[in-house]
């Protein structure tokens, strides 16, 4: 098969890129290369169809550059972050012309540690082992994303309140953006195939329909309560003060129960999986006011 790079037509062939790089995926290093041309072609489309700004695309985990090549076809500028130094060196050689033209920047390093550029959108097949950490490095930047995840992770990100998949991840991700699963991806789309199914998620930034005074505390509070999702909020809040950072975990519960807040006291008998993000924000605000730093408890 003639490499598309040599023929000058169409995008680079992902299998040919693997051969030229002389690498094989390594599951022990969370290395699964996306090789399905159809999926690769659609990833930039999911950003374009949503009207996302493609002036500067950030790709995390480019591997041998199969997706990078397709992003260069639609973006003004692309920055890739690759933690494998050998692959970073290969990308600099493979895409030397694009680098020389100022259209591609290759950063060698850990995407959790390096400074992120001022990108307009991220389109990436993320390393699954650190997908959560990377997601919550990207979402607070307020930029849209098209990201590949394990299917289970993707479904939890997009889950609606009251469903089995709804949890801490749903509330936290949807605090920053509208989240939609746009395509399931089979194991066979990767080399080597991972043990799990995958899915593409598109996130569109938006301001939530509620306010939180301390975002870091809000997210920590949500995390804490969901560690005891089978318990009522009354008990979950009381039992997880050491996680959420409450000095007095009983005080906010008592304030709600005594009618000192705008929250219906009946909320304390519900479980975390039935609570929408807006109510979590109200709960966190009360917990912050009454439970931290010797808040008002009368």
Query: Look-up: residue for tokens 């540690």?
Result: 113
Does 175 carry a binding-site annotation? no
In what order do the strands lie in the sheet containing 177-185? Answer: 104-108, 77-82, 56-60, 121-125, 145-150, 198-205, 177-185
Does 86 carry a binding-site annotation? no
Query: Buried (b) or exposed (e) across 49-88, using 16+ Cβ within 10 A?
Result: eeebebebbbbbbbbbbbbbbbbbeebebbbbbbbbeebb
Does 239 carry a binding-site annotation? no
Does 147 carry a binding-site annotation? no
Does 8 carry a binding-site annotation? no
Query: Look-up: residue for tokens 């006011």?
Result: 289
Q: How far is CA 151 from CA 121, 180, 270, in A?
A: 21, 12, 28
Does 248 carry a binding-site annotation? no
Tokens read off for 126: 């993320």
178 three-state secondary structure = strand
50 three-state secondary structure = coil
Residues 63 and 65: their CA atoms lie apart, in Å, by 6
Binding site for S-adenosyl-L-methionine, by residue number, is 32, 34, 61, 82, 110, 125
Q: What residues form the annotated binding site?
A: 32, 34, 61, 82, 110, 125
């Amino acid at each position: 098969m003639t490499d598309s790079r040599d023929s000058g037509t169409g995008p680079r062939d992902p299998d040919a890129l693997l051969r030229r790089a002389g690498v094989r995926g390594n599951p022990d290093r969370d290395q699964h290369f996306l090789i399905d041309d159809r999926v690769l072609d659609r990833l930039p489309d999911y950003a374009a169809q949503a009207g996302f700004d493609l002036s500067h695309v950030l790709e995390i985990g480019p591997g041998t550059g199969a997706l990078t090549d397709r992003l260069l076809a639609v973006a003004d500028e692309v920055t890739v972050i690759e933690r494998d130094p050998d692959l970073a060196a290969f990308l600099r050689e493979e895409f030397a012309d694009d680098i020389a033209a100022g259209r591609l920047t290759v950063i060698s390093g850990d995407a959790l540690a390096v400074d992120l550029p001022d990108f307009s959108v991220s389109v990436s097949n993320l390393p699954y082992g650190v997908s959560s950490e990377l997601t919550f490095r990207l979402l607070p930047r307020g930029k849209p994303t098209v990201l590949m995840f394990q299917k289970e992770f993707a479904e939890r990100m997009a889950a609606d309140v009251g469903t089995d998949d709804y949890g801490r991840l749903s509330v936290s991700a949807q605090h920053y953006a509208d989240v939609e699963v746009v395509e399931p991806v089979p194991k066979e789309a990767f080399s080597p195939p991972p043990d799990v199914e995958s899915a593409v998620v598109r996130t569109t930034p938006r301001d939530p329909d509620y306010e939180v005074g301390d975002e870091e505390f809000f997210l920590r509070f949500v995390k804490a309560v969901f560690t005891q999702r089978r318990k009522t909020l009354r008990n979950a809040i009381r039992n997880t003060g050491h996680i959420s950072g409450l000095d007095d975990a009983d005080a906010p519960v008592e304030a709600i129960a005594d009618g000192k807040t705008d929250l219906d006291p009946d909320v304390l008998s519900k479980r975390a999986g039935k609570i929408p993000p807006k109510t979590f924000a109200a709960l966190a605000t009360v917990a912050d006011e009454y439970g931290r730093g010797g808040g008002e408890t009368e």
